[in-house]
């Protein structure tokens, strides 16, 4: 749960106007690599929640690299953000027994939320906005 709360803080730092804007686009450049692009798109807005998708791509540089696609539900009332879909798989349980039919790790849900946290942290540290950013008061 702490990871989800931290992801909410990271998301609001990257996308402060998510309640009014529809998308945010970042370029990430790393010294040894060609870089990648991260796009956050709003899918649905409700009074207390926002559903968004996170898509990472390498453009035409490396078509053989496939980044995972994530859908995230942002809970504004409790300041938390949770991955609800990872590579088109949904409804992750908190814990899995081993072995299981899907071959998930025992803490699969935690690992997926941790991955989102690492991606957002990397965007905060190394990303730059592709489009102009406007801050509404």
pLDDT digits (tens, 9 = 90+) for 33-52: 677 889 999 999 999 999 99
Compute the mean pLDDT over every residue in the chain, rounded to the nearest whole number: 83
Q: Is residue 134 part of a domain?
A: no
Is 98's pLDDT higher than 90?
no
Q: Is residue 57 part of a domain?
A: yes
Cα 115 off chain centre by: 8
Identify which of 82, 110, 80 has the alpha carbon closest to the alpha carbon of residue 5. 80
Residue 64, pLDDT score: 63
SS3 10: helix
Range of the domain at 59: 2-129
Q: Is residue 135 part of a domain?
A: no
Q: Is residue 114 part of a domain?
A: yes
Which of the pair, 108 or 55, is modelled with greater confidence?
55
Q: Is residue 72 part of a domain?
A: yes
Q: Is residue 137 part of a domain?
A: no
Which of the pair, 57 or 11, is modelled with greater confidence?
11
Q: 10 Å Cβ neighbour count for 101?
A: 6
Number of domains present in the structure of the chain:
1
Q: Is residue 67 part of a domain?
A: yes
Is 59's pLDDT higher than 70?
no
Residue 137, pLDDT score: 53
Q: Is residue 117 part of a domain?
A: yes
Is 105's pLDDT higher than 60?
yes
Which percentage of the chain shows pLDDT scores above 70?
Answer: 74
């Amino acid at each position: 749960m702490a990871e989800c709360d931290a992801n909410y803080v990271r998301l609001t730092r990257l996308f402060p106007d998510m309640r009014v804007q529809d998308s945010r686009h970042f370029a990430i450049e790393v010294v040894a690599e060609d870089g990648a692009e991260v796009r956050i798109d709003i899918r649905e807005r409700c009074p207390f929640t926002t559903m968004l998708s996170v898509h990472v791509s390498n453009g035409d540089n490396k078509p053989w690299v496939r980044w995972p696609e994530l859908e995230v539900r942002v809970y504004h009332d409790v300041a938390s953000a949770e991955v609800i879909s990872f590579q088109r798989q949904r409804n992750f349980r908190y814990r899995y027994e081993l072995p299981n039919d899907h071959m998930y790790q025992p803490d699969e849900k935690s690992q997926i939320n941790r991955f989102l946290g690492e991606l957002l942290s990397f965007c905060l540290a190394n990303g730059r906005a592709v489009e102009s950013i406007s801050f509404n008061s």
